[in-house]
Chain A
Amino acid sequence: MFFRRQRIDRQLAAELEFHIGSRTRDLVKTGVPEAAARRRARIEFGGTESVKDDCRDVRRGHLVEELFKDLHYALRVFRKTPAFSLAAIGTLALGIGACTATFTVVDDVVLRPLAYPEPGRLVKPLTKNPPLGIKNGPASYPDYLDWRDSGVFESVGIYLTDNAVLATGGQSERVVVAMATSGVFSALKVAPLAGRIFTVEESTPSLTPVVLLTERTWRRRFDADPKLLGGTIKLNGLSLTVAGILPASFSFEGDPEVWTTPIATGDEAPRDNRYWSAVARLRAGATLRQTGVQLDQICRRLAADYPASNRDWGVDIVGLKDDIVGDTRAQLLVLMGAVGFVWLIVCANIATLMLVRASGRSREMAVRAALGASGARLVRQLATESLLLVLAGGAAGIGMALAAVSLLREYGPADLPRLDQIHVDAMSAAFTLGIAIATGLLCSLGPVLQARRSHPGEGLQEGGRGSTGGRRRALTRATLVTAEVALSIVFLTGSGLLIKSFWNLLREDAGFRTDHLLTFFLSLPNSKVMENGQYQKVKVARYVEAVAARLESIPGVEHAGLGMSLPLGGGGWQIWSKFWVAGEGNSQAGFVQGISQSVTPEYFAALGVPLRSGRTFSDRDGEHAPLVAIINHEFARQKFAHRNPIGRRIGIEDGKETYEIVGVVGSLKSGGLQEPSPPQIYGSMAQHPVPMLAAFVRTAGDPAALGRTAQQAILGVDPDVPAYRLRTGDQLLGRSLARRRLPMTLISSFAAIALVLALLGLYGVLAYGVAQRTREIGIRMALGAAAGQVLAGVVRQGMIIASLGAIAGLAGALAITRVLKDALYNVSPLDAGVLLVAPAALLLVALLACAIPARRAAQVDPVLALRRE
């Protein structure tokens, strides 16, 4: 093609040269001197280069070359109007960035199916006990055996995620470990990368478990040593045989590195020891409902056979995906909707920008058309410009999306499912590209239609005289801006509601002091606490005592206490039991449902839970001392109302022993901040020592700085029992708020983007209107209009647009904020304050957006304006 072009150029030059040569020769024949003749011939001919250009133009029609020319021209236009180009590219980048990031998250978390064969048949059986208010609960080992043997499922397995110390080389590290039966793998249909999966026989709890390693662990921790198969690894001090390696594609909740067959603890047999999670595969062709009915029958039979442990217990089955995604789905879909809105605003804004600019260029277009550019040519030129803008905006937008996604991976809520797997992939990029091009075409449509409609004569005139013409176009622009304002009101309202909820949540008292607090878990392995099937109570009590003492001896530690679970849903052991008050009869009605746990004397001081009345535990409340308990304020409120609970005695479930209430402490939020504090009962750790511990250290300085020292201190007590999941109280609070913080932050950012875009649109339309009407304004002022009147006129125009938008937006908000209901806390979706403040705030900033063009209009000098042309 290039050579062809060269040849054409050479011929063209020769052709024109022949023309000039012939003319020169003719002139010489008439007696003109050679040099003068040549000069005259050249002057007569005019610019040879422009003629060549025109010839090439008609010849060529090569799309590619024309495209380059269009691009070249478009770039020149962009350079000449940097403000417009930057505004357009910035707007697009924001829109495309927000869209891609959100689409990526939604795609990775919600839309993408699980990476197992036929994921639709994977379910989770979750136990429930309506009278006790238990839902989504775990299962017991014997119940699981009944499910398995009933044949309700094609396969079912149980598992338990925990952590254990894995020894590799000279190092020991706490890794996530899952204990599972073979059914888990047959349900998920996982084939081993090497070796074999557990057998059914191996899946019976035993003291000689075998293990599976994930491919990643095998590679990273053991250098993919093939000899490891059939060899052993050391887990929690036990030597376990490696049966196989799981494939790299295998992933599971919590990402366990090591899988073991169930290890016998001796507590599998009781049916009310419910602590296993279950996963199952439905039989081919079976529905959730059918399986649920069959499972209900089994549950009823079990309840009849074992009333003590199984009465009122049932099972819900939910799709595995629904279980993993959980209630984030609704949130994510709301986000998706929000992004759609932002996208609409972006489109409206770009269209407005393009329209404004196209009108400003109508004179240029008219001149070009008059000079012979065809309609199609102009349309192509405009489309090229739009697409170029859109692609530049798209590239910037993808950059923003990448940044946003990596930020989310880093700082997003840890409980967002599969957070670590979120990444911008080809699919999302293609989605973005599609959207970008669609926008480009959509947004260039307006100007293109205008260009096609415009008549050169009209265009030249309008540009020349600057009258109020183009009323219809002005109306289109005003409508677009009104829509933008309306959409941003919807956003402002939504984000206002979420912010108010968050604010309400922040004001909730967690019941403990989150500052200067370090927390972590400790767990004594069974090998340390069980001897000959006997729980070594004294040994555990001594260990707990030693840990508390060791922690308190660290400089900078004010108090160190131990309990069983972290507040704010931070994990650990929360045991719900029924309590009754001695002397009131243990009838069903008298029960109080509450969480019980064993704590050390310093627990309350370390956590910062205030004592309301009575006393906390002390060294007096030892193993042989009278049994004592402390209740929280909520328990006292529910059970004792206006009476003094101190000195009263309470009992647990069917137990005969009673505990004397010695103190009442403040209520602690055991779950989320938005949930009410449940009744809580504390027992003395010395009287009921437990091996699963949550430690609380109140520090004088930065708690995070003490982490290492605390870990060393714990290893000093027992080198085989490391501290794990170290978190500060503020991290705990942050984690608890994260689920609400993310949508709030996102919606608020969207609202901010929407607001800025709407204001830009408003400003653009007004400023453009003023620029177009400079002459008219000049005439008015020459005829006696005061500057104030002109100013008021522009402001009025802007405020009419803003007000109409606000009214429409408010109507939209009333209809739409209802979807946020679940995300709100102590705020009605129709909160009057928010519904008033959002439009008021918008109108206020809209006033600012009007002010600049209005001022400019008021400053028009009639003399200059009239003389301008």
Chain B
Amino acid sequence: MPSEKTDLLQGTLDMLILKIAALGPIHGYAMSQRIQQISRDALQVQQGSLYPALHRLEKRGWLKGEWRASESGHDAKFYALTKAGRKQLETETAQWERLAEAIGLILRTAE
């Protein structure tokens, strides 16, 4: 199968998006700014990969897109977390924590 690395990255981005959307409906631009802010610029998410990810999550039913006016007055597409999305987020967060813990353990042991 093609690289687990890309899958991992993709999964991470998906989780980030879901996490941010959990705070309330948000459009793509704000999302990209928020990711940068939260990760303190450590994660440079290419806009190029953000939008396909948004659309993918929407298609899977984890996000729901809705057009309405933004704070600047322009029409924007807002993404809100769905019930299924919330569930997915919980699973992924749990998984991620387990993985992070495991990696941390390995790293500590190896020291």
Interface residues of B in 41-88 (CB under 8 A from A): 46-49, 51-52, 55-56, 59, 67, 70, 72, 74-77
- Given known A-B contacts A18-B76, A21-B74, A369 and B29 have beta carbons under 8 A apart: no
B1 near A18: Cβ-Cβ < 8 Å: no
CA–CA, A369 to B74, complex, Å? 38
B2 near A16: Cβ-Cβ < 8 Å: no
Task: Tell me how far the C-beta of A287 lies from the nearest C-beta in chain B, rounded to whole angstroms.
Answer: 63
- Given known A-B contacts A370-B6, A456-B3, A16 and B59 have beta carbons under 8 A apart: no
Most A CB within 10 A of own CB, among B2, B52, B67, B72:
B2
- CB-CB under 8 A from B48, the residues of chain A are 45-47, 50-51, 54
Q: Does A61 contact B (CB under 8 A)?
A: yes
Q: Which residue of B lies closest to A25 (CB)?
A: B72
A51 near B52: Cβ-Cβ < 8 Å: yes
A58 near B2: Cβ-Cβ < 8 Å: no
Chain A binding surface, main DSSP class:
helix
Q: Does B25 contact A (CB under 8 A)?
A: no
B75 near A18: Cβ-Cβ < 8 Å: yes
Q: Does A19 contact B (CB under 8 A)?
A: yes
Number of interface residues of B (CB under 8 A): 25
A18 near B29: Cβ-Cβ < 8 Å: yes
Q: Does A375 contact B (CB under 8 A)?
A: yes
- CB-CB under 8 A from A54, the residues of chain B are 48-49, 51-52
- CB-CB under 8 A from A375, the residues of chain B are 1-2
Interface residues of A in 174-229 (CB under 8 A from B): none
- CB-CB under 8 A from A50, the residues of chain B are 48
Q: Does A654 contact B (CB under 8 A)?
A: no
CA–CA, A50 to B75, complex, Å? 23
Q: Does A583 contact B (CB under 8 A)?
A: no
- Given known A-B contacts A45-B47, A370-B3, A19 and B55 have beta carbons under 8 A apart: no
- CB-CB under 8 A from B2, the residues of chain A are 369-370, 372-375, 456
Q: Does A11 contact B (CB under 8 A)?
A: yes
Task: Tell me how far the C-beta of B25 lies from the nearest C-beta in chain A, rounded to whole angstroms.
Answer: 14
A18 near B52: Cβ-Cβ < 8 Å: no
Checking B49, B59, B70 against A18 with a beta-carbon cut-off of 8 angstroms, the contacting residue is: B70
- Given known A-B contacts A25-B72, A51-B47, A373-B2, A58 and B55 have beta carbons under 8 A apart: yes
Task: Indicate with 1 or 0, residue by residue over A48-88, a CB within 8 angstroms of chain B CB atoms.
Answer: 00110011011101000000000000000000000000000
A22 near B72: Cβ-Cβ < 8 Å: yes
- CB-CB under 8 A from B28, the residues of chain A are 15, 18-19
- CB-CB under 8 A from B29, the residues of chain A are 18-19, 22-23
Task: Tell me how far the C-beta of B59 lies from the nearest C-beta in chain A, rounded to whole angstroms.
Answer: 6
- Given known A-B contacts A11-B77, A18-B29, A372 and B47 have beta carbons under 8 A apart: no
**Can you list 26 A-B contacts with CB-CB less than 8 angstroms, sorted by A residue number?**
A15-B28, A15-B51, A18-B28, A19-B28, A19-B47, A19-B51, A21-B74, A22-B29, A22-B70, A22-B74, A25-B72, A44-B47, A45-B48, A46-B48, A51-B47, A51-B48, A54-B49, A55-B51, A57-B52, A58-B55, A369-B2, A370-B3, A372-B2, A372-B6, A452-B1, A456-B3
Interface residues of A, Cβ cutoff 8 Å to B: 11, 14-16, 18-19, 21-23, 25, 44-47, 50-51, 54-55, 57-59, 61, 369-370, 372-375, 452, 455-457
Interface residues of B, Cβ cutoff 8 Å to A: 1-3, 6, 10, 27-29, 32, 46-49, 51-52, 55-56, 59, 67, 70, 72, 74-77
* Cβ-closest 7 pairs across A and B: A369-B2, A54-B52, A58-B56, A22-B29, A55-B55, A19-B29, A18-B76
